[in-house]
Amino acid sequence: MPGFELFSDLERKEVNDVLDNGVLMRYGFDGMRKGHWKAKALEAELATTFKSNHVQLVSSGTAAVSVALASAGVGAGDEVIMPTFTFVASFEAIMMLGAIPVLVDIDDTLTLDPKAVKAAITPKTKAVMIVQMCGSMGNMEALSKICNDHNLIFVEDACQAIGGSYKGKPLGSIADLGCFSFDFVKTITCGEGGAVVTNNKAYYINADHFSDHGHDHVGNDRGAETHPFLGYNFRISELHAAVGLAQVRRLPEFIAIQKRNYTILRNALTEIPEVTFRNVPDGGEESYAFLNFFMPDLELAQKVTAAFKANGVDACWNYYQNNWHYIRKWNHLKDLKSLYPISSEVKKGLEYLKTKSFDQSDHYISRNISCLIKLSWTEKEVKERADKMAQLISSAIN
């Protein structure tokens, strides 16, 4: 999946433009730039990629989720419904705003179960955030309908899903706001970076100002700009944006390689009756960043993961055992370990984490194995890997 596997002269050229003019800041210094505005150019490319009106680049995917939620007015005491299978950043971003993450079960799509979302809505619910883990999606139509019916903000954490689509729309462009990460291990990378995508002009203007100390970005004298509201610094640098600009232009090439590699692996595993695959809703096309499959039970999933590891099939995980992506082992968050006091409202709102079990999520995550798809494999290497994976799974079963 990571774009860094295929760095080329294209990335070097964009970075050299920035180093040549010396302007590493995305705003201002117009006279020195020699016409290079890498962050602006990347925003324009991303708007085309995501078929969306507005894109605001920020410093990370974590920042993108916080900025997106803040831009839509999510804050102190608001509840945000999100899935149990996620990256810890999605939880952190909600906490940063003083809001309350309300975790709910996933289904066989490996993300939000619409029934669980509906059941979790309270008068305090302000937003629903789907996390499109491992390159695919949930039932976007059902989730959009729930949000519309209950007047909730719908957010896509599409940090892992660039290149996927649902009914012709790019993932990240379907809900009110979409969030992307361009960190070092994503399909396209800036090193560190992220983006907020929206068709809502007011949310976009909020994101633009909020991610730069509240600056209104009117005129060309930064010191004279006004600040309509509180903001922080979540800016991306020109150097990071330069790398991303070269990478985003290569996205179709990267997705095609992911799809080829994914398809070879999947075809080999399809032969094994005990293996089933993650459900991709009708009309959805995943980004092929990961191959996700289910074993019949946890014991077999663990046996297969261990056999893969012992035999050089790297980058395959059973997230049930993982400390970062699934609620089961987030003890620091269950125990509310924080460097600074957390509001009593949030403490109370998170009490459920101490006792609530997520049996339906356990059912899927315990049996799931997620295998990263690399871009740098040759076709021969993928075929050998596919054969090896199929053999190891078959011997674990028999």
Ligand X SMILES: Cc1ncc(COP(=O)(O)O)c(C=O)c1O
CA distance linking residue 333 with residue 295, whole number of Å: 29
Which one, 56 or 302, has the nearer CB to ligand X? 56
**Residue 311 φ then ψ, to 5°:** -115, 20
User: What residues between 86 and 105 interact with ligand X by CB under 6 A?
Assistant: 86-87, 89-90
User: Rounded to the nearest whole angstrom, what is the least distance from the CB of residue 286 to ligand X in the complex?
Assistant: 14
# binding residues, ligand X (CB under 6 A): 15
Stretch of 154-162, 208-216, 217-225, 238-246 contacting ligand X, by CB under 6 A:
154-162
Contact 146, 99 (CB under 8 A): no
* Residue 278 burial (CB count, 10 A): 21
What are the helix (H) ranges across 50-111? Answer: 61-71, 88-96
Report if residue 183 touches ligand X, rule: CB under 6 A: yes
Q: Which amino acid is at 158?
A: A
User: Rounded to the nearest whole angstrom, what is the least distance from the CB of residue 131 to ligand X in the complex?
Assistant: 5
Which one, 254 or 396, has the nearer CB to ligand X? 254
User: Rounded to the nearest whole angstrom, what is the least distance from the CB of residue 61 to ligand X in the complex?
Assistant: 2
Stretch of 156-164, 203-211, 245-253, 371-379 contacting ligand X, by CB under 6 A:
156-164
Cross-strand partners of 57: 195
User: What residues between 64 and 83 interact with ligand X by CB under 6 A?
Assistant: 65
Residue 191 CA, distance from chain mean position: 15
Which one, 185 or 202, has the nearer CB to ligand X? 185
Binding mask 21-40 for ligand X (x = CB under 6 A): --------------------
CA distance linking residue 225 with residue 288, whole number of Å: 44
Stretch of 56-64, 204-212, 260-268, 338-346 contacting ligand X, by CB under 6 A:
56-64
User: What residues between 162 and 181 interact with ligand X by CB under 6 A?
Assistant: 181
The residue whose two tokens read 């789907």 is 130
User: What residues between 200 and 239 interact with ligand X by CB under 6 A?
Assistant: none
Stretch of 10-18, 33-41, 60-68, 299-307 contacting ligand X, by CB under 6 A:
60-68
Stretch of 31-39, 57-65, 312-320, 336-344 contacting ligand X, by CB under 6 A:
57-65
| Nearest residue relative to ligand X (C-beta) | 61
Stretch of 77-85, 153-161, 167-175, 276-284 contacting ligand X, by CB under 6 A:
153-161
Which one, 211 or 302, has the nearer CB to ligand X? 211
CA distance linking residue 37 with residue 33, whole number of Å: 7
CA distance linking residue 306 with residue 296, whole number of Å: 16
Kindly state the helix (H) or strand (E) to which residue 58 belongs, with its residue range. strand 54-58
Q: What is residue 71's three-state secondary structure? A: helix
CA distance linking residue 12 with residue 247, whole number of Å: 11
One residue of 56, 136, 160, 292 binding ligand X per CB under 6 A: 160
Distances (CA, A) of 92 to 14, 87, 96, 228, 347: 33, 9, 6, 26, 14
Give the CA angle between residues 32, 36, 39 to the nearest 5°: 120
User: What residues between 124 and 143 interact with ligand X by CB under 6 A?
Assistant: 131
Farthest CA pair distance, the chain: 72
Binding site for ligand X (CB under 6 A): 60-62, 65, 86-87, 89-90, 131, 157, 159-160, 181, 183, 194
